[in-house]
Chain A
Amino acid sequence: MERAVPLVVPLGQTEVFQALQRLHMTIFSQSVSPCGKFLAAGNNYGQIAIFSLSAALSSEAKEESKKPVVTFQAHDGPVYSMVSTDRHLLSAGDGEVKAWLWAEMLKKGCKELWRRQPPYRTSLEVPEINALLLVPKENSLILAGGDCQLHTMDLETGTFTRVLRGHTDYIHCLALRERSPEVLSGGEDGAVRLWDLRTAKEVQTIEVYKHEECSRPHNGRWIGCLATDSDWMVCGGGPALTLWHLRSSTPTTVFPIRAPQKHVTFYQDLILSAGQGRCVNQWQLSGELKAQVPGSSPGLLSLSLNQQPAAPECKVLTAAGNSCRVDVFTNLGYRAFSLSF
């Protein structure tokens, strides 16, 4: 851990403000560029920073290369979610989704390519967008968030084609079942809903908090994270992190961790999860904890696996959360260094 030595250099007004801003920064989202060499991270002040993974991982990396290549103000509110297509970076947060060209972003003064707002029913507060999901087969984007609905946007034309209604509270997360065009969504109301994209109908509902094995009423019923592997689904949040068999909709494994989890993903034959607490957890499917790798943030909100085939040397796991740092794990058991805003 190469924590910066506490500077006792007294600071002026702007320095203090910047220090405080960094101190209270939360990185909500990450996305790796299609070339695999850059990582974008979005924070609670609406800024997006682009880090160069290749420079930071190279042998002659200096302290400088762990700083962002470029930082720009993307949104007015927090950047809750980002995804990358093969040319664009899509970012969303305060009710709008914006597209940026990866090729131009590294230049100064980058302007967004386009911006879209889903058709909201008018309300006092603009609902936020918590999750973005690309559906490559039909070249569309699914947005979900504060208005309790899933909006499908056609990336070709930029029009909103479908609205999927069913959730009774806002939606935290989305996951795509690769084989059949089905989407899973988990929300604050404690339900995981399975949607068929062809018919735009709700196929299945799992109310996780009603199952005694995983319900934890003192934490609430919200579903904070969701990942799927066609037949299997893992979800966590207020209820315990649980592996489900989708076809029979029964919980098979309850993972023994107390802290609510905010991000979960399948990786090879492992499940990686992160949430409240400093560690990235690695689980066997059977429910055994394989490893807990400590990071530098007190709480983690997002994990990102760089698996772009274009840059095999940049194959890393990055984790970010309640700090201005993005932890980089070169292999799963070891935190190599932190990128910092």
Chain B
Amino acid sequence: MSSESGKKRKPKVIRSDGAPAEGKRNRSDTEQEGKYYSEEAEVDLRDPGRDYELYKYTCQELQRLMAEIQDLKSRGGKDVAIEIEERRIQSCVHFMTLKKLNRLAHIRLKKGRDQTHEAKQKVDAYHLQLQNLLYEVMHLQKEITKCLEFKSKHEEIDLVSLEEFYKEAPPDISKAEVTMGDPHQQTLARLDWELEQRKRLAEKYRECLSNKEKILKEIEVKKEYLSSLQPRLNSIMQGLAVLPRLECSGTIWAHCNLRLPGSSNSSASASRVAGIIVTQAALELLASSDPPASASQSAGTTGMSQGTLAASLPVQEYLFMPFDQAHKQYETARHLPPPLYVLFVQATAYGQACAHMKSSQPPRQDKTLSVAIEGSVDEAKALFKPPEDSQDDESDSDAEEEQTTKRRRPTLGVQLDDKRKEMLKRHPLSVMLDLKCKDDSVLHLTFYYLMNLNIMTVKAKVTTATELITPISAGDLLSPDSVLSCLYPGDHGKKTPNPANQYQFDKVGILTLSDYVLELGHPYLWVQKLGGLHFPKEQPQQTVIADHSLSASHMETTMKLLKTRVQSRLALHKQFASLEHGIVPVTSDCQYLFPAKVVSHLVKWVTIAHEDYMELHFTKDIVDAGLAGDTNLYYMALIERGTAKLQAAVVLNPGYSSIPPIFQLCLNWKGEKTNSNDDNIRAMEGEVNVCYKELCGPWPSHQLLTNQLQRLCVLLDVYLETESHDDSVEGPKEFPQEKMCLRLFRGPSRMKPFKYNHPQGFFSHR
């Protein structure tokens, strides 16, 4: 059968194919070109349903043919064999078809399997992906729940309530307009505020801790002192054993107090009590020894008291109570001449009053005014020995003068020099006053008393907290000679305030005191007043007595004046340093007085002599008005813009800044312009000189000079920019108008708009 099917295969295929041409060609292809027929490809082209039909039909045919063959065979006959043969061929063909179908079915099955497999694999892959995605989803869900469950730390922080927050927090933290609507920002702001407050508290805590540490240490030290007091007190007790009953009891009481259990505060009070009592004792001793007329017994007491004080010295030292030192000073003060004594007492009193007013701390630590006595006491004592016969000669200089001439009579031919020296002799003791300013610069004043002239003089010296490095060519602002000049108007300290002195000078051939002032110090009027000396001009008095009330009434104002003087001088010093480099040092709190853009600039700032100032052609008015005295300082400033040069001659009164610097101007631009030929230059002078109060800046207006110079630069800008343009001249204006002005000219004298209006920034007329 198989051999039959092999033979019949091709036609069957061709037939069953339904596309004989193609089948032929395919076959010829496989035979001729070596390409083989692909049954797999055929499968795709055939419909399985029809194949199934074909299969059924073939099977039926086969059954029929078999049945016919059987029928024929059973009938038998001759022609039967042919018929059977025919039938066999037919059935062979059908077999072939079946075979073919079988193969196709196989191929289909395989294909189906392949497909299934493929699909399965795909499904597997999808499944895997699904698994992955599911996992991811789960993970994300977990994350989300985690996030949802997250609790911010800040929720645990106990914040201040909302109203309180808006009430107390500074606006740069609370930012009410932003945070009111936005709860998130609000919370942030509140947290900021919390942080701020916590930081502050932490700082405070640290401070308190360190304070505590310090206090503990102090207590420790004090305890040590107290414990070491015992032996010393014993020694005092021994010293006191011989003294009157009162002092002893006092000291013993102190002693008892000191033996109290040494808790920190009680020890302080104990020490104070002890100090008071020791001083009491000392003072009482002093009082008893005061009248020098009393006899030897009292002298003995004094000696003893000094011994006691010596013994109590270490105690005082330990208790920070330099009563003995003070006492020594008072002791020395007794040898001061009356005016210096008045000064000493009043200055000490004022200093203590000031210190008490300022703080309740121990007054000795940080006082602004300290008083001391300098010089040798012995010399002073020696001075007082002989005058038993002439008690009043230290006040009555005429008498003294007579005395000296009497004494010198035998050697009348002696040089005048000796006489002069004698006349100008100073008392060996002097009073030192140290006046401390806020910025730690100190004014040292040394007061002398000229015994024979009955006047007081002062020498001044300024020491600054920080070294002033910049070399100042512009004047000697802080020189001892001039720093106190004209503290009160007209008080230049060159002439003697005592009218009687002139006659004394005539006798010894001194023309004026001013030749000796550098050596002796300046006899300012206020110095005499601080010493309680008053020399009335109208009715010359025979004797001038040191007066406490006069000194007291002048002490406070003078001290204040001295302080402002030193401060203003230091401020000037600083300003000069930058002015010399052509910088006008406008401070930020004065910036509002000037527009932002100032083109004119300072070129030069130099000091000039008084005579040179008097000779300048444009300063005549000031000289005529009597404002250019020789006690003033004189400067020349040069301000430039383009081709325009503005010279400014400046008079600086020693009373700066209560008395303003005075400017006179001379503009060199298209000819020389001064106040006599240009109304606007005159107006500019008026702006800086008369309207200076606008330029003072914050109190105490030390910046006045700087502001005036800057104002002058602004004025020059305005002057040049508003200058009317001459139409007949070719070319652009040299100074284009940049300042905003409402009007260029106003009034009969065609004033320019010199007034600067601050926030709006325009210029208008005054």
Checking A8, A13, A19, A322 against B655 with a beta-carbon cut-off of 8 angstroms, the contacting residue is: A13
Which of the listed residues A4, A13, A16, A188 has the most CB atoms from chain B within 10 Å of its own CB? A16
Q: How far is the CA of A4 from the CA of B621 in the complex (A)?
A: 12
CB contact list, A184-233 vs B, under 8 A: 188, 217-218, 220, 222, 224
Minimal Cβ-Cβ distance residue in B for A260: B750
Query: A298 contacts which chain B residues (CB < 8 A)?
Result: 675-677
Q: How far is the CB of A44 from chain B (nearest CB, A)?
A: 8
Report A-chain residues with C-beta under 8 Å of the C-beta of B765: 125, 128
Chain A contacts for B653, CB-based, 8 A: 16
Report whether A21 and B690 are in contact in the complex, using a CB–CB cutoff of 8 Å.
yes
Partner pick for B627 among A16, A80, A222, CB 8 A cutoff? A16
Q: A136 an interface residue at 8 Å Cβ cutoff?
A: no
| B489 x A12 contact (CB < 8 A) | yes
Say yes or no: is A121 at the interface (Cβ < 8 Å to chain B).
no
Q: Is B698 an interface residue (CB 8 A)?
A: no
Contacts A13-B659, A16-B659, A218-B726; is A6 near B748 (CB within 8 Å)? Answer: no
B761 at the interface (CB under 8 A from A): no
Tell me the bound Cα distance from A15 to B662 in angstroms.
13
Please tell me if the beta carbons of A28 and B626 are within 8 angstroms of each other in the complex. no
In the bound complex, CA of A44 to CA of B754 (Å): 15
CB–CB A23/B622 < 8 A: yes
| Residue B486 interfacial (CB < 8 Å) | yes
Q: Is the CB of B745 within 8 A of A170?
A: yes
Contacts of A21 in B (CB 8 A): 690
Q: Are B764 and A125 interface neighbours, CB within 8 A?
A: yes
Among B726-766, those with CB < 8 Å from A are 726-729, 742-743, 745-750, 762, 764-766
* Chain B residue nearest to A93 in the complex (CB): B747
CA distance A245 to B750 in the complex (A): 28
Chain B positions 679 through 690: 1 when the CB is less than 8 Å from some CB of chain A, otherwise 0: 100100110011
Interface residue B658 (Cβ < 8 Å from any Cβ of A): yes
The yes or no answer to B540 lying at the interface (CB within 8 A) is no
Q: Are B749 and A124 in contact (CB under 8 A)?
A: no
How far apart are the CA atoms of A217 and B724 in the complex, in Å?
Answer: 10
Give every chain B residue within 8 A of A125 (Cβ-Cβ).
742-743, 764-765
Q: Are A124 and B742 also in contact (CB < 8 A) when A7-B626, A13-B659, A172-B748 are?
A: yes
Please indicate the chain A residues that have their CB under 8 angstroms from the CB of B642 in the complex: none
A24 within 8 A of B: yes
CB atoms of B682 and A11 under 8 A apart: no
The verdict on A251 contacting chain B, using a C-beta distance below 8 Å, is: no
CB within 8 Å of B: which of A15-36? 15-17, 19-24, 26, 28
- Residues of B with C-beta under 8 A to A4: 624
- Assuming the contacts A13-B655, A146-B743, A262-B749, asked whether A6 and B726 have C-beta atoms less than 8 A apart, the reply is no
Whether a CB of chain A sits under 8 angstroms from the CB of B700 is: no
Beta-carbon contacts under 8 Å, B6-50 to A: none
Determine how close the nearest CB of chain A comes to the CB of B194; give it in whole angstroms: 49
- Residues in A with CB closer than 8 Å to B625 are 6, 19, 22-23
CB distance from A7 to the nearest CB of B (A): 4
- Name the CB-closest residue of B to A237: B750
Residue A119 at the chain B interface, CB threshold 8 Å: no
A299 on interface, CB distance cutoff 8 Å: yes
A78 within 8 A of B: yes
Please measure, in the bound complex, the distance between the C-alpha atom of A130 and the C-alpha atom of B747, giving whole angstroms: 6
Contact A80 to B747, CB < 8 A, known contacts A13-B658, A125-B765, A298-B675: yes
Q: What A residues does B742 contact at CB under 8 A?
A: 123-125
Q: Which of A10, A217, A299 contacts B490 (CB 8 A)?
A: A10
A3 lies within 8 A of chain B by Cβ: yes
Query: In the complex, are the beta carbons of B766 and A77 less than 8 A apart?
Result: yes
Complex contacts, A77 vs chain B, CB 8 Å = 766
B629 within 8 A of A: yes
B residues 612-645 near A (Cβ < 8 Å) are 621-627, 629, 631
| Min CB gap B307→A, angstroms | 57
Q: Is the CB of A10 within 8 A of B631?
A: yes
**A128 lies within 8 A of B747 (CB):** yes
Across the interface, which residues of A come within 8 angstroms of B623, CB to CB? 6
The complex places the Cα of A322 from the Cα of B621 at a distance, in Å, of 12
Taken together as a complex, chains A and B put the C-alpha atoms of A253 and B56 apart, in Å, by 147
Asked if A301 is at the interface of the complex by the 8 Å CB criterion, the answer is: yes
**Would you call A276 an interface residue if the criterion is a C-beta within 8 Å of the partner chain's C-beta atoms?**
yes
| Chain B: CB-nearest residue to A218 | B726
Contacts of A8 in B (CB 8 A): 626, 629
> Which of A6, A16, A299 is the one whose CB lies under 8 Å from B679?
A299
A9 at the interface (CB under 8 A from B): yes
Contacts of B492 in A (CB 8 A): 10
B743 engages A24 (CB within 8 Å): no
Chain B nearest CB: distance from A11 CB in Å? 6
> Contact between B626 and A6 (Cβ–Cβ < 8 Å)?
yes
Q: What residue of chain A has the Cβ atom nearest to residue B743's Cβ?
A: A125
Closest residue of chain B to A15 (Cβ to Cβ) is B489
Q: How far in angstroms is the closest Cβ of chain A from B270? A: 55
- The answer to whether A224 touches B626, judged by C-beta atoms less than 8 angstroms apart, is no
- Give the CA-CA distance A78 to B747 in the complex, in Å: 9
Residues of B within 8 A of A172 (CB): 748
Q: Verify B679–A322 contact, CB threshold 8 A.
A: yes
Within 8 A of A (CB), among B522-571: none
> Are B685 and A24 closer than 8 Å at their CB atoms?
yes
Q: Which residues of B contact A13 (CB under 8 A)?
A: 655, 658-659
Known: A220-B724, A298-B675. A28 touches B748 (CB 8 A): yes
Contact with A along B489-501 (1 / 0, CB 8 A): 1101000000000
Is B746's CB under 8 angstroms from A146's CB? yes
A217→B627 contact, CB < 8 A: no
* Shortest distance from the beta carbon of B687 to any chain A beta carbon, whole Å: 9
CB distance from A212 to the nearest CB of B (A): 12
CA gap between A5 and B270 in the complex, in Å: 72
In the complex with contacts A3-B624, A13-B659, A16-B627, A80-B489 CB distance below 8 A = no
Residues of B within 8 A of A28 (CB): 747-749
Determine the chain A residues whose CB is within 8 A of the CB of B750 once the complex forms. 188, 222, 224
A residues 162-187 in Cβ contact with B at 8 Å: 170, 172
Least CB distance, B134 to chain A, in whole angstroms: 78
Q: How far is the CA of A203 from the CA of B400 in the complex (A)?
A: 94
Complex interface: chain B residues within 8 A of A11 (CB): 489, 626-627, 659
CB 8 Å contact bits of B447-487 with A (1 = contact, 0 = none)? 00000000000000000000000000000000000000010
Interface residues of A in 241-263 (CB under 8 A from B): 262
Q: How long is the Cα–Cα vector from A16 to B679 in the complex, in angstroms?
A: 22
CB atoms of B726 and A23 under 8 A apart: no
A224 to B, closest residue via Cβ: B748
Question: For the complex, what is the distance from the CA of A74 to the CA of B289, rounded to whole Å?
Answer: 73
Chain B, residue nearest A222 (CB): B750
Cβ contacts B372-409/A at 8 Å (1 or 0 each): 00000000000000000000000000000000000000
A residues 273-314 touching B (CB-CB < 8 Å): 276-277, 298-299, 301
Evaluate contact between A322 and B748: CB separation under 8 angstroms: no
Q: Which chain B residues border A23 with CB–CB below 8 Å?
A: 621-622, 625, 627, 689
Set of chain B residues within 8 Å of A78, measured between Cβ atoms = 747
The answer to whether A9 touches B490 (Cβ under 8 A) is yes
- List the 9 closest pairs (A to B, CB-CB), nearest first: A24-B686, A7-B626, A298-B676, A10-B490, A12-B489, A217-B728, A218-B726, A125-B742, A20-B689
| 11 cross-chain CB contacts under 8 A | A10-B492, A11-B489, A13-B655, A13-B658, A26-B749, A44-B686, A80-B748, A123-B742, A217-B727, A217-B728, A222-B750
Give B residues with C-beta under 8 Å from A: 486, 489-490, 492, 621-627, 629, 631, 653, 655, 658-660, 662, 675-677, 679, 682, 685-686, 689-690, 724, 726-729, 742-743, 745-750, 762, 764-766
A26-B679, A299-B676 given; 11 more Cβ-contact pairs under 8 Å: A6-B626, A8-B626, A10-B489, A11-B489, A11-B659, A16-B627, A16-B659, A128-B746, A172-B748, A188-B750, A224-B748
Q: Which residues of A contact B (CB under 8 A)?
A: 3-4, 6-13, 15-17, 19-24, 26, 28, 44, 77-78, 80, 123-125, 128, 130, 146, 170, 172, 188, 217-218, 220, 222, 224, 262, 276-277, 298-299, 301, 322
